Chain A
Amino acid sequence: EIVLTQSPATLSLSPGERATLSCRASQSVNSYVAWYQQKPGQPPKLLIYDAFNRATGIPARFSGGGSGTDFTLTISSLEPEDFAVYYCQHRSNWLSITFGHGTRLEIK
C-alpha cells in the first residue's frame, strides 16, 4: 500500500508570501496525483490533477509539480482565502486511492 506523507503538518505564513507544500510517496508512483483544498464545514475542492494540471476555475497562483516520490503544491502569493487544509491524493495503477494526512496552512 502506498502511503502519502505530507509536510509540514502546519505551515504559518502571511498573505503575499509563497507557500510550498510537500507530498512524499512511500514508493515511486505514477503522476496520478491530485491536490485538494478544504475549508471548515465544506467539502474538498479540487485544485490540481495529474500532478500539474489546474482544475477548472482554479487561479494561476496555484501550481503543482513533481514526479516519482516527491510532489509539491505551490501557491505563488497567498491570498486571505487560501488559508485552509490541503490534501494530496494518489490513484495507483490497480485503482487504490490514497490521501495524505493534510497540511494546515494558517495565517502567521
Chain B
Amino acid sequence: EVQLVESGGGLVQPGGSLRLSCAASGFPFSSFSMTWVRQAPGKGLEWVSAITGSGGSTYYADSVKGRFTISRDNSKSTLFLQMNSLGVEDTALYYCAKAAAAAGLNAFDSWGQGTLVTVSS
C-alpha cells in the first residue's frame, strides 16, 4: 500500500523559512516523479512544484520560483520542499503526491494527508 506522510509544517513569521518532508513507502520511490500541491484554508488546489524520479529535473509554479526548492533523497524514500522568504500568501495545507504510473506528471494517484504551514506575525 502506498503511503505518503508529510511533516515539517508549523507557524513561521513572514520572511522565515521551513523545510517540509514527505516520507514515502509501498512503491519504488526512485521510479516515480513527485509533486507538492497546496491548499489555502477553504480554497482550491494550487500546484507548487514537481521533480522527476532521478531528481534531475525540477519544476516550479511562478508564485514560488526562486523561493522554494524541491529535492529528494531516493536512498531514504523522502521528498523535500525547502521554503524561504515565506509570505502570508504561502499559508496553506501542503500535500505531497505521487505521479500516476500510467500518466507520469499528467496526474497524481496517491496523496498524503498534508502538513499545515501558517505564516503569521
Contacts and interface: CB of A to CB of B under 8 A. Distances in A.
A49 B107 contact: yes
A99 B108 contact: no
Contacts of B50: 95, 97
Interface string B28-70: 0000000101000000111100100000000101100000000
A55 B100 contact: yes
A36 B50 CA distance: 18
Contacts, number: 71
Given A1-B62, A49-B107, A87 B114 contact: no
Contact of A34 (B46, B61, B103, B113): B103
A65 interface: no
Instruction: Classify chain B's interface size.
Output: 20 to 34
Contact of A46 (B47, B100, B114): B100
The SS class assigned to the B binding surface is strand
A97 B103 contact: no
Interface in B71-113: 95, 97, 100, 102-103, 105-109, 111-113
A46 B111 CA distance: 9
Nearest to B101: A56
Contacts of B61: 96-97
A50 B47 contact: no
Contacts of B109: 46, 49, 55-56
Contacts of A53: 102-103
Interface in A87-102: 87, 89, 91, 95-102
A77 B62 CA distance: 39
Interface string A64-108: 000000000000000000000001010100011111111000000
Given A1-B62, A95-B105, A97-B35, A49 B100 contact: yes
A100 to B, nearest CB: 7
Interface in A9-56: 32, 34, 36, 38, 43-46, 49-50, 53, 55-56
Interface of B: 35, 37, 44-47, 50, 59, 61-62, 95, 97, 100, 102-103, 105-109, 111-114
